[in-house]
Chain A
Amino acid sequence: MLQFVLKRIVVTIPVLLGVTFIIFTMMFFTDGDPARLILGDDALPEEVELLREEMGLNDSFLEQFLRYLTGTLQGDLGISYTTKVPVTTEIMARLPVTFKLAVFSTLFAICVGIPAGIISAVRQYSVLDNVTMVLALIGITMPNFWLALLLTLFFSVYLGWLPASGLYGPLYYIMPVISISALSVATITRMTRSSMLEVIRQDYIRTARAKGQSEGKIIFRHALKNALIPIITVIGIQFAIALGGAVVNEQVFAIPGLGKLMVDGIKARNYPIVQGGVLVIAIMFSILNLLIDLLYAFVDPRIKTQYQRSSAKVKSAPVAAAGKGVSQ
């Protein structure tokens, strides 16, 4: 098992290098001159040239990339072009906010989505099931931006219960969390329902019922546990998306998160911020993926044995196993 984890971590290194190279290249070849943007239309060409020189923007692509790479390897992500603050400081100021929001909204999505999905599956075609499915459909199709504004209009302007923006206390989290998790709740509900429906029809469930097992035990111990693998996958993906920063929600609720930082960075051609942000997100994605793979093993002992067997020849065993877990 440990071997498996170590190997996965080693595999992450070329991924991160690749991400660094791609994002650097993309920013390098995008139109727009950061020096001109900083100084504005009023500045003379000489002044812009001077600043370009100072920022090292006149060096060749290779020189700039190598300089960036050596810095990054030493843990120095550079200095923000616009604020002149180290990129690590900027990102670390935003990361906790984004992380907290991602955790809360994912927890909320799990707490609402899984029970709703189970009820829907157990009471298939009932009124409850239909209502849940319609709501889930709305959750998936409703534009995030619109939902966020609707929530503020209702809870802040009309009822006056919740503060409209900012993140200065527990109450402030309610609307952003609901708004960010709307899509996840809907996706998790639908996934739970379909996965449960599949499992419920299996022979071993019928056997459990036949031997007189209580309904609760059948649902939670036999059915849910076996239906959990695809649900975990969906939760992982949703959590990862939330970690990348919910730009739209950050904008509406004026939350200083990672997404906003990066979008501003792209607009201002603030290369160090964008590169640093993407790198941090890539690292988080990698860690998350690993955690999810490990979680599979806890849920499904069959996968655990596969990890142990395959740790000699690392391949994408977990994925294959996950697929099997669903179909069996």
Chain B
Amino acid sequence: MIKRQIISLLLAMVMVLGLTACGQSSGKADSNAPAPGGESASAAPGSESSSAAPAPTAATPAGKEDLIFALDQEPASLDPYMHSKQQGFTVGTLIYETLIKKDVGGNFIPWLATEWEQKDETTFVFKLRDDVTFHDGSKFTAEDAAYSLVLGSQSSFSANLFGSIDPDATKALDEHTLELKLKAPYAPLFEALASFRGAMLSKNARETAGEDAFGRAPVGTGPMKFKDWVSGDRIEMEAYEGYWGEALPFKKAVARIIVEGSARAIDLETGGIDIAMELPFSDWERIEYNPDTVLIAGESQSHSFILLNNSMEPTNNEKVRKALAHALDMENLVKTAYQGHATVADSFYAPSILGYKQVGPYEYNVEKAKALLAEAGYPDGVKMQYFTMENQINMTVAEVVKNMWGQIGVEVDIQIVDLATQTQLNNDGKCPAASMAPTVAMADPDAGLMIWPIYRTISIRHNDQHIQDLLDKGRETYAEADRVAIYGELQDYLFEKCYSIPLAFPRAAFGTRAYITGLEFAPSLVPDLTQVKFA
């Protein structure tokens, strides 16, 4: 009897082992792939596709006419002025177009607008193409352009980019001439217009459908037109026959919603999808060394920082803030939290944005930190709360920060909250400290520094007019050299005051099948899907 039991147990174990071995061997197959060059995903900022990976072998499947890409979150709306989520804008790159675009060299090039002229500090005149139609067949006119931009200036989702546009004076001069009026000089205007956020939409379609319905069934001028939206599952688009420009190599596009990161990666590896957005760090290596897939990685234009509350004890004391900054071993903190896929933030916005100046990081010096804390009146240490959301990076940062601050006698009480709670506490000014990584809406210092305006309600609450003055000056100055000087001064000033501590410039990646070419990494994390070509 006992013998029988032992045999059956052994049998069961063999079965289990068999199952796990199969799982492992598939993983091994990937890591055993040739790895010339070694670490391509860790060096050099800016964008580069993974050149160290083996040469792509897969050809485009015969007769392929669709593009399937996977988003990590379902957009709430596809109306570019009614949301601020990158997933919605990614879909939007196929459906909408902008007046101007930015080329690889950083120059603004004509798109829906053929030429433009600056009349004075606050007046711009744009000549528009006359061969452009919306997906409902109606003509794209200056009336639609004015409508879109005025909408942008008034919606609370996009006012941070277009709020300077004067909604009353911006108007169509004739069918193809748009006069754009500003309330005050606004240097980032062209950057904002060229970003996917300045999309042109049909006035008639939006007014007929209503703003909620339009967001679920948008009408733009882009090469693909909206077809269907299956809640929680996918958004379908099809080629727009009347498109004025060159048709895309695919006739159908499907945005699938696959929230789980590793599931997106697996789906890409098995060929279920062509492009996977926002891959988690743990999947980078597999996608990179798989001959059928390509990893496109680069540095994001958003950065993360450790928020300190300047309207609350003890962080309203500059010495305490500096003590906290000097107590952090940034190199190790960032390496641990971002698994080597980020660099230490040495300033207050990303290096890819105009006027970036290296000012930090704060020197790691525990003795100095202790001394500063004692000087500030806390020789025996102090207690603090630290808020974190339940995702791996933030949790790791919180743990490491607690440890490092503990060494200078600051006792950290970590509070794990969800996004909703954190957002509310943060905007009520009740968040004592937390790590945050807000999305920078466009590659301009004005957006890069968006957490700093004095009217912002998030818990930094520095109440420092000098910051606001410099921000205003930078916004109103058109001459690039002058702007760089202004923002340089501001970054120095922020470093000196230490109202918050810059944390990391993280890298991000998306993956494609090897037969997808032409797609480049976008620091905004919204890749222009109209670039996609099939090999």
Contact = CB atoms under 8 A, between A and B. Distances in A.
A154 B457 contact: no
Contacts of A264: 74
B256 interface: yes
A146 to B, nearest CB: 10
Given A32-B418, A130-B12, A154-B26, A125 B4 contact: yes
A158 B5 contact: no
Nearest to A31: B421
A40 interface: yes
B280 interface: no
A45 interface: yes
Q: B1, B12, B458 — which one has the most chain A CB atoms within 10 A of its CB?
A: B12
A37 B473 CA distance: 31
> Which bucket holds chain B's interface residue count?
35 or more
A37 B267 CA distance: 31
Given A93-B231, A94-B231, A154 B23 contact: yes
A44 B232 contact: no
Contact of B424 (A33, A164, A252): A33
B216 A36 contact: no
Contacts of A166: 233, 256, 272
A41 B427 contact: yes
Interface in B1-57: 1, 4-5, 7-9, 11-12, 15-16, 19-20, 22-23, 25-27, 29
Contact of B12 (A131, A149, A255): A131
Interface stretch (B257-265, B461-469, B502-510, B517-525): B257-265
Given A134-B9, A157-B26, A164 B259 contact: no
A163 B231 contact: no
B58 interface: no
Nearest to B7: A127
A35 to B, nearest CB: 10
A93 B198 CA distance: 32
A260 interface: yes
A82 B76 contact: yes
A78 to B, nearest CB: 14
B157 interface: yes
B425 interface: yes
Given A36-B423, A156-B270, A157-B269, A150 B230 contact: no
Contacts of B233: 166-167, 254-256
Contacts of B8: 127-131, 134
Q: B4, B5, B233, B259 — which one has the most chain A CB atoms within 10 A of its CB?
A: B233
A209 interface: no
Interface stretch (A11-19, A58-66, A83-91): A83-91
A36 B424 contact: yes
Interface in B414-466: 417-421, 423-427, 438, 450-451, 455-458
A135 B12 CA distance: 7
Interface string B370-405: 000000000000000000000000000000000000
A160 B119 CA distance: 62
Nearest to A145: B260
Given A42-B160, A157-B26, A253 B232 contact: no
Interface in A218-277: 251-257, 260-261, 264, 267-269
A83 B256 CA distance: 17
Contact of B84 (A40, A149, A253): A40
B60 interface: no
Given A93-B232, A156-B270, A253-B263, A126 B4 contact: yes
A85 B74 CA distance: 14
B261 to A, nearest CB: 10
A152 interface: yes
A132 B412 CA distance: 50
A153 interface: yes
A42 B438 CA distance: 10
A6 interface: no
Contacts of A135: 12, 15
Interface string A151-175: 0111011101001111100000000
Given A157-B26, A165-B267, A254-B260, A31 B231 contact: no
A98 to B, nearest CB: 11
Contact of A42 (B15, B84, B266): B84
A31 B427 CA distance: 13
Contacts of A41: 423, 426-427, 438, 451, 456-458
Contact of B232 (A154, A165, A260): A260
A53 interface: no
Interface in B183-224: 212, 215-216
B420 A32 contact: yes
B77 interface: yes
B332 interface: no
A129 B4 CA distance: 11
B118 interface: no
Interface in A32-58: 32-34, 36-45, 47-48
Contacts of B9: 130, 134
A138 interface: yes
A167 B257 CA distance: 12
B267 A131 contact: no
Given A84-B215, A134-B9, A160-B270, A152 B263 contact: yes
Nearest to B260: A251
B292 to A, nearest CB: 11
B365 interface: no
A32 B424 contact: yes
A36 B422 CA distance: 11
Contacts of A251: 259-260, 263
B73 to A, nearest CB: 9
Given A166-B272, A256-B231, A44 B26 contact: no
B270 A164 contact: yes
Given A153-B266, A165-B258, A256-B230, A127 B423 contact: no
Contacts of B11: 127, 131
A43 B160 CA distance: 9
Contacts of B1: 125
B156 interface: yes
A157 to B, nearest CB: 5
B157 to A, nearest CB: 7
A38 B423 CA distance: 10
Contacts of A261: 232
B424 A267 contact: no
Contacts of B423: 32-33, 36-37, 40-41
Interface in B241-276: 256-260, 262-263, 266-267, 269-270, 272
A83 B455 contact: no
B231 A85 contact: yes
A196 B4 CA distance: 22
A92 to B, nearest CB: 10
A260 B73 CA distance: 12
A160 B27 CA distance: 14
The 7 A-B pairs at the shortest CB distance, nearest first, are namely: A32-B420, A256-B232, A130-B8, A158-B26, A84-B212, A134-B12, A256-B233
5 contacts: A32-B420, A44-B455, A128-B8, A131-B15, A157-B269
Given A129-B8, A153-B26, A153-B27, 20 more contacts: A32-B423, A39-B156, A41-B451, A42-B157, A44-B455, A83-B216, A127-B4, A127-B8, A130-B8, A130-B9, A138-B16, A149-B262, A150-B19, A152-B263, A158-B22, A158-B26, A164-B266, A251-B263, A252-B260, A260-B259
